[in-house]
Amino acid sequence: MGEGGRRKEEGGRSLLLSFFLLFFLLLSFLLPPTSSFLSAAQPPKLPEEESFFAAVRENMARANREQNRYAYKERRTELHTNPFGRLGTGDVVVYDVTPGPEPGITFRRLLEKNGKPVLNSKPERREQRVRAARRSTVDDTVNVLDFAIDRRETVNGRSAIVVRFEPKRGAEAETREGRMAKAFHGSIWVDEAAREVMRVEATAIDDLSYGLGLIARMRKGSAVTLIRERTDDRIWLPTSIKFKGDGRALFALRKLTIDFSVEWFDYRRM
């Protein structure tokens, strides 16, 4: 692969990491945690927002702290950024991922490629970079979005509260994740009894630039879906994320299509 190809591949990984971070941040939404909880016997009316959001945020904070203690397997569609082809369609690979000695560091080993076992692969060290900003990415994302309880639904036999989110008028973002968040609206499904996020569906209401707008632009209507499930008796963790959208490669003036997915499974507490 040439130098240009490597740059595009690294750019694709950077874009993907930003999407992951953005939608994990959406799960950490809303208000500072308090000690208020609704009683176990839920009334017919919808929950009071402040205590409901506080309980959900507390559970999310606990999951974020505990997640670094889990190993897991990851199945993903490789992301490509070739402007002459399709963006986000490539090999399907499976990795075994284990936590490193400190948060933000993991080791992943390739197990399968396109359904075929890969033998004698070596672990690859990966480190999540942290960028300095006046406002944290969590605070910035919360600052640019409005959240409101919308309705109650039954999902897989369980009662779920649906929370709508949309860009907040007049809010200014300071981070890349905050600027990306302002381009989305959608819904979050929360298990009412467990106060745990089950699903996030978000749709872009504005175009999304990739590579500072010099490589590609994804059109509004691009959609992201994130699923979380109970992994053991301790916490809920993400089990899949999907991103679909159409756009245009600016230099080649060709249509691009993203159809990207990642699954996380076989969580093991280390």
What pLDDT does residue 104 have? Answer: 78
Mean pLDDT over residues 241-267, rounded?
77
What pLDDT does residue 119 have? Answer: 92
Stated pTM of the model: 0.75
What is the extent of the structural domain holding 219? 3-269
pLDDT (tens digit per residue) in 15-40: 545 555 555 555 555 444 433 444 45
The pair of three-digit structure tokens given for residue 247, joined into one six-digit string? 């756009």
Number of domains in the chain: 1
